[in-house]
């Protein structure tokens, strides 16, 4: 009987470790000070969007798990609410998830979003940004954000973002970054 109990505890322990390993990030995100990995992805409008298209602007590149889920909807609404503030700062917001462009289109239509959501269906961009999370048997984008400066360099990295205050945090960071580059 004791052997069975020990065996069950070992199996449970190995299972828990396996789940924890699958929830871990596949690779670390790129760090501030490095060039942002280039990419080209389809937007909700079906257009190809490349990071290099935004040279000369600040880019808020945010990764999120899934269209039409509560946290992702809150985060998207807050970025939408603040679009005028981003424009005043010469910044553009780009959202990335592993959902399809059609899913993004439905999400934008339902939630009234007019900034670009990009479809990373092969997960390559999410991997390049260390933003893939294995969630059981499926992969989703981890809730990470990168601020990319007008020259294409990552200047700020957020991991494990809280969706509610995030847009406000990013706007404050853009203000600080703008001050530091003005000197």
Q: Would you say residue 14 has pLDDT above 50?
A: no
pLDDT score for 122? 95
Summarised one tens digit per residue, pLDDT across range 98-144 is: 999 999 999 999 999 999 999 999 999 999 999 998 877 888 999 99
Domains of the chain: 2-182 (3.40.30.10)
Q: Would you say residue 180 has pLDDT above 90?
A: no
Residue 179 contacts by C-beta under 8 Å, 6 or more apart in sequence? Answer: none
Cα separation, 22 vs 169, in Å, equals: 29
Q: Would you say residue 6 has pLDDT above 50?
A: no
Reading the block at residue 172, the tokens are: 């404050």
The continuous run of DSSP H or E covering 103 comes out as helix 101-111
- At 37, the pLDDT band (50, 70, 90 cuts) reads very high
pTM: 0.84
Catalytic residues: 72
Q: Would you say residue 91 has pLDDT above 90?
A: yes
Q: Which of 8-17, 125-134, 154-163 has the lowest mean pLDDT?
A: 8-17
DSSP line for 114-158:
-SEEEE-TT-HHHHHTT-EEEETTEEEE-S-EEEE-TTSBEEEEE
Comparing 122 with 11, which gets the higher pLDDT? 122
Summarised one tens digit per residue, pLDDT across range 70-87 is: 999 999 999 999 999 999
pLDDT score for 26? 57
Q: Would you say residue 10 has pLDDT above 50?
A: no
pLDDT score for 5? 46
């Amino acid at each position: 009987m004791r052997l069975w109990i020990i065996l069950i505890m070992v199996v449970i322990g190995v299972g828990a470790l396996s789940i924890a390993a699958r929830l871990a990030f596949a690779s670390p995100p790129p760090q501030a000070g490095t060039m942002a990995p280039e990419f080209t992805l389809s937007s909700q409008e079906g257009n190809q969007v490349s990071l290099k298209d935004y040279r000369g602007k600040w880019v808020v590149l945010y990764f999120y798990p899934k269209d039409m889920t509560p946290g992702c909807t809150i985060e998207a609404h807050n970025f939408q609410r603040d679009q005028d503030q981003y424009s005043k700062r010469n910044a553009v917001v780009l959202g990335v998830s592993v959902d399809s462009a059609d899913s993004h289109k439905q999400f934008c239509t339902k939630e009234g979003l007019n900034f670009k959501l990009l479809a990373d269906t092969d997960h390559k961009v999410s991997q390049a940004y260390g933003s893939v999370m294995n969630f059981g048997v499926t992969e989703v984008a981890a809730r990470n954000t990168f601020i990319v400066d007008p020259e294409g360099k990552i200047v700020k990295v957020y991991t494990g973002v809280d969706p509610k205050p995030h847009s406000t945090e990013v706007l404050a960071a853009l203000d600080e970054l703008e001050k530091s580059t003005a000197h």
